[in-house]
Amino acid sequence: MDSKPDTGSLSASPVQRVFAWRRRHPRWSILIALLVAVFLLDRLFPPPIPDLDDDAATVVVARDGTPLRAFANAEGVWRYRIGLDEVSPRYLEALKGYEDRWFDWHPGINPIAFARAAGQAAVHGRIVSGGSTLTMQVARLIEPIPHSLPGKFWQIVRALQLEMRLSKAEILELYVNLAPFGGGIEGVQAASYAYLGKPSAQLSHAEAALLAVLPQSPSRNRPDRHPDRARGARDKVLNRLAEFGDWPPGVITEARDEPVVARSLRPPMQAALLAERLRREDPNDRRLDSTIDATLQRAIETQVEQYMRRLPEKTSAAVMVVRHSDLDTLVYVGSARYGDPDRLGHVDMVQARRSPGSTLKPFLYGLALDHGLIHSESLLLDVPQDFDGYRPGNFGDDFNGPVSAAEALRLSLNVPAVDLMDRIGPERFTARLAHAGLDLNLPVAAQPNLSIILGGTATELEQLVGAYAALARGGLAGLPRLRPGQAATDRRLLSAGAAYIVRQMLVEHGRPGDPGGLIDTSRRKQIAWKTGTSYGFRDAWAIGVTPDHVVGVWIGRPDGTPVPDQYGAATALPLLIDVSERLPGASRFTDPKPESVTLEKICWPSGGRETDELPANCRKKREAMLLDGVAPPTALDRASKASDSLQVRLQLDSKTGLRVAPHCAQGSVSEEVRVRWPVLAEPWIGAVERRYNRLPDWAPHCAPDQPTPSADLRIEGLVDASILRAAPGTDEPIRARLRVIGGTGTVAWLLNGKLVGRAAAEGGLELLFDQSGKKVITALDDQGRYGQIQVTVQ
């Protein structure tokens, strides 16, 4: 009879040998079968391991990584992706010490803890303690698993799968990013910022223990709602860590004494409009790094919100702070209060195109320097003038007569600026700004014109700030950078010398628009600043350059409606100075004066060097900054003919001092060179200078064939030095109708230097005197002729 084949022999089949091995090693065969089953399950039912980057919320962060604003993911959850090296070791110690002490060694399940949990379930008929490892908790975080015995089995399977597929560090990284902390917050980094206002790398021992236990019952133990419960849960963690000696006793004691203090749970909301802008520009990036300084941003946002309480309702504001060395934007406040419907807080006024008022004037003066038209003390005329029908006035309609270029810029005088714009050309000015990144919007089909320099255009705060940076960067303007690594866009706006001179002209600033001294402009830092106000009080601006930063402030209503009596110097300037004082860095400009800039004494009215003038013609001396050694002469005013000159060469009869000509001279003749004041300056230069400005009469035998037009106008209607009194028994103000004799064209009428009206020379004007005191009445025609009288109103 046949005997059974020896399954261990070489003649046995492979299947027979396998069954024989199983009979000899039953325990190993069970383990192998289990491993094979797990392997097959892993391939048939792989765990849904999430991609933390794809499923994360979009977070805009500051330059140091601090979240500025978080946009929830599709499930409405805010999660801030973080690596283990960015988490405080204290948190990881507390987490492992409390939740899973054997995490680094077990294969995904802890048999001892699991046996304990199974025994408790058998005794009580329900799950009392889960015995879950961190790996098992991750399994439940990545997939909804019911809290039941079958659910526990599936959780174990998933934990084994995770251990097969991932390293311990990868599993722990999933936990620290997915653990729930209540209120739609997931992950320790998001929780740390939301509850504690700090990154998880900076957690104290007590805070680390609190966040380690919070995912066990995030709603019940939320520290912002239930601080006592949260403290009790935290102390359980500390007791466990003390029991096993994970932390020294002194650390445990100190941590127990620390109170649970959490702010109201809220995702970060700083630089909200910048965050929206960056997200629009890069919608697929989950982490959007910015150049913002989180500490400064928070402080300036609070400062702006407090400052706006004193202003009319519906008023908004925008503030931008740029470090001019690299054009990094450190502060970006797009509205006074984000989301406020009354203030249209959703409108980003950093990018809104608005009338710039007078904020373009520094660039005009810089270009005038580069074109050799002026130096810092050039004599300019702030008097009523007509530019082919365009007749600009100043804020308040006051005129100052002859002023230096520096004074005209600091006082933001309109007529000198329009005069320079006319000489440079609006097209050239606009093109130069556009090349430097400052685009000016004009109405459709409109051409650049003289009104641009007074705000007859539109531009953005962001571009203005980038252009003002040229005053501290050797004349190089550029677009402010919003993100690290953003390409530089340096463009030449002014020469280094012109930029330096303009900045110096602005550093020692007066108080334009504030003659009563209502604004306290005392400051620690040097600030080269300029204000602007658009037509109708719609926009108030202040732009300032400090030794390290450029600060831009806009205040107004986003819908463009006027805000009466709110202008740059009164509304935007105080906020600019307050913001500047908060900024770190130097308090004084220390960059050296460019070699192209020299300091020299110049003379008025010629504008030339003192060394080039006769002492008698140097009527006033000033120290000026010259560019490239050029001292441009004072330009003719519009009352002079093209053939005229301020410098007059006279031939005088030596005996009589009267004017003669070579063909009619009798006896000895002396020559004299005289530099006269511009004709339009005469009403403001005083009696002594007016006498100097008068040329000697012609000798009778040399009188010209044509009579010389009268240099003066005669005002009729009132007598010089008269006293005006109101009629008895009436409250009506005194009225007087005046006209001029000898004038042509249009006559400008000024009362104490303030323009009160214009009228045809042959017509006249009625003046109203409603206040007592001395009144100087001046009439000035298109040819520069003028008349002046003084009366006293009682």
Residue 422, phi then psi, degrees to nearest 5:
-65, -35
Q: What does R_g of the chain's alpha carbons equal in angstroms?
A: 41
Separation CA 410–CA 266 (nearest Å): 46
- Give the separation between CA 498 and CA 625, rounded to whole angstroms: 10
Q: Are 572 and 553 in contact (CB under 8 A)?
A: yes
Q: Active site residue: 99, 301, 460, 613, which one?
A: 99
Give me the residue label for tokens 């990868």: 170
Q: Is 358 an active-site residue? A: yes
- Bridge-based pairing of strands 287-289 and 58-61 is parallel
Helix, coil or strand: residue 29: helix
Burial of 41 from C-beta contacts in 10 A (0-12 / 13-18 / 19+): middle
Q: Given the residues 358, 376, 404, 606, select the one marked as catalytic.
A: 358
305 included as an active-site residue: no
Report how far residue 58's alpha carbon sits from residue 79's, in angstroms, rounded to the nearest whole number. 8
Q: How many beta carbons lie within 10 A of that of residue 33, not counting itself? A: 11
| DSSP-derived 3-state class of residue 274 | helix
Pair type for strands 328-333 and 316-323: antiparallel
The torsion angles phi and psi of 551, rounded to 5 degrees, stand at -120, 130
Contact call for residues 364 and 453 (beta carbons, < 8 A): yes
**Residues in CB range of 663: below 8 A, 6 or more apart:** none
State how beta strands 549-556 and 316-323 pair.
antiparallel
Q: Tell me the C-alpha distance between 540 and 554, whole Å.
A: 6
**Residue 752 phi, psi (nearest 5):** 55, 40
Q: Which two tokens stand for residue 618?
A: 């140097």
DSSP 609: B
Q: How many CB atoms lie within 10 A of CB 730?
A: 8
DSSP 220-266: TT-TTT-HHHHHHHHHHHHHHHHHTTSS-HHHHHHHHHS----PPP-
Cβ proximity of 654 and 669 under 8 Å: yes
Residues 6+ apart with CB under 8 A from 696: 650, 652, 657, 658, 659
SS3 716: strand
Distances (CA, A) of 557 to 155, 352, 597, 712: 59, 11, 42, 48
- Cβ atoms 534, 451 nearer than 8 A: no
The residues annotated with a catalytic role in the active site are 99, 358
